Each structure stands twice: as structure tokens, then as C-alpha cells.
Amino acid sequence: MFAGKTVVITGASSGLGAALAEGVAKAGGSLALLARNAERLGAVAESCRAAGGRVVEVQGDVVDPGACESLIAAALAEFSSIDYLVLNAGVSMWVSFEEIEELSLFSKIMDTNYQGSVNCVYHGLAALKESGGLLVAISSIQGLTGVPSHTGYCASKHALQGFCDSLRIELKGTGVDVLTVLPSWVSGTGLRGRALGAEGEAIGVEAKGHSSSAVPLDRLVAKVLRAMRKRRRLLYVPGYMRIIPLLKALCPCFLDWIIKKKVSR
């Protein structure tokens, strides 16, 4: 599926990023990986090599434009081209707005989820245009509607969604396509345990569990890889989430009631 292709992934040391990297490696692709934690990133890289993939890893944070530039440079130096740029790095939150004690968590979330993605695209777009590649943004269904206790996260994903929608139009005719991935709750990523609380601290893996309706990580990975291969425009996971924009337009109060009920469980 990805033989002869180069895939760049941010936030690749754990969760969805690591799982996507391993999936690409098993499908014959080459990888350039970025993450803050060098030890975990190295372990993921070795796992991908064991699966048959060629890998170059860069330790760094997407909030640093220099790290994003280094990632793109390393990918081009090692593989000569970039076919897919996957914007996966992200941080979440789980605290109501009135309970927040440390406002810096808003800038941390926005810097990572939105500005970090912009940084990567800024340095990687020329390479994507050269290859006629695909930009893949791991957003969230929360990029389309509000969710209580996720004000900062929703704001960052709305920003990312607007950026990708605008960029998609700008890039018409260039050979570059934009895929936005819009998952609902996903189990197995570790993102919820690292979500920020009232003082900007990680709430811990046991603080908020997943409902039985959460999408398993392996299922999400399979759907994302398939959507990448087909160069889809949007991917809702699960598929019935595509009704969210319709409900928001036609029955916004009903949608608010559903979301409030789900999150309050």
C-alpha cells in the first residue's frame, strides 16, 4: 500500500502516531518521525524497522518551527521526497472553563494542536507539491462542534479545521490534496490520560475512562491508512458522526443536549 512512499508523522512516540507509523512500515513505506520523548520515539522507530520500514527519527516539539524544519530536512535527505505529511501531534484537556486555574493551558493546547501543525505545513508544503502528495490532519469531531470541559481543545481543533479547509481550496490544481480525520472518542491512544486539568497538569490515565462506544485504536488506524491510500477529503470515525454538521445546522439545541448527556455520563 505504501511501498516506495515516504510518510512523515508528528507525535509519533505513542498512541495514534506510533500505531500509524507501524502500519505504514508493515505496508512497505519509509518513515520520518517526530516526537518530544526521544526514548519512546526510538522504541517506535526500532519497531518500525523490525516490521520492514526504513526510518529516520527527529527528537523535537512541533511548537518549535526549527524542529519542524529539521524533520522535513531529515526526510528529504534520507528519502529524497515526501508523499504524506501526517499532522498528529496533539494535547487534550478535561476541565470546565470555570474550574481552570492556569490559563497557560490554553496557549499550550493551541500552540501544539494548531500552530504546531501550521509550522509543519509551512516547512513541508513545497515537498508535498513536488511529489503531488497528501496532507493528513488528525483533527477531531470536536473541530466541528463544542464539547463541555474541552473548551480549549475544541477551539484548537476548530482552528485546525479552518486552516485545512482554507488550504485545501488554495491548493486546488497543485496536485496536493488535504485529508481531515474527524474521530470521536478513541480508546488506546493514551491521549485522555495526558489531558490537561485545572492547573495545566495531566489528569492521569484513571481519571476519565472511555465509554463502550469509543473507537478502538486499531480500527481507527486501519480507516486512516485506507483513507490516505484513497486520498479522501474527510474521514469521520465512526461513520455516523457525519450527521454532526447536519444536526448542528438543523437541530443545534438537540445536538447540544446529546453532547451534554454523553459527556456527563
C-alpha cell at 245: 454538521
Bridge partners (DSSP) listed for residue 216: 187
Task: Say if CB 186 and CB 213 are below 8 A apart.
Answer: no
Pairing of strands 30-35, 186-187: unpaired
Neighbours of 162 (CB within 10 A): 12
- Map residue 50 onto helix, strand or coil: helix
The alpha carbon dihedral of 70, 71, 73, 74 has a sign of positive
**Is 153 labeled as catalytic in the residue annotation?**
yes
Task: Say if CB 82 and CB 131 are below 8 A apart.
Answer: yes
24-50: burial string, b at 16+ Cβ within 10 Å, e else: bbebebbbbbbbbeeeebbebbeebee
Q: Which of 84, 114, 122, 153 is catalytic?
A: 153
The arrangement of strands across the sheet holding 54-59 comes to 54-59, 30-35, 6-10, 84-87, 134-138, 177-183, 234-237
- Map residue 235 onto helix, strand or coil: strand
Residues 6+ apart with CB under 8 A from 130: 81
Enumerate the active-site residues. 153
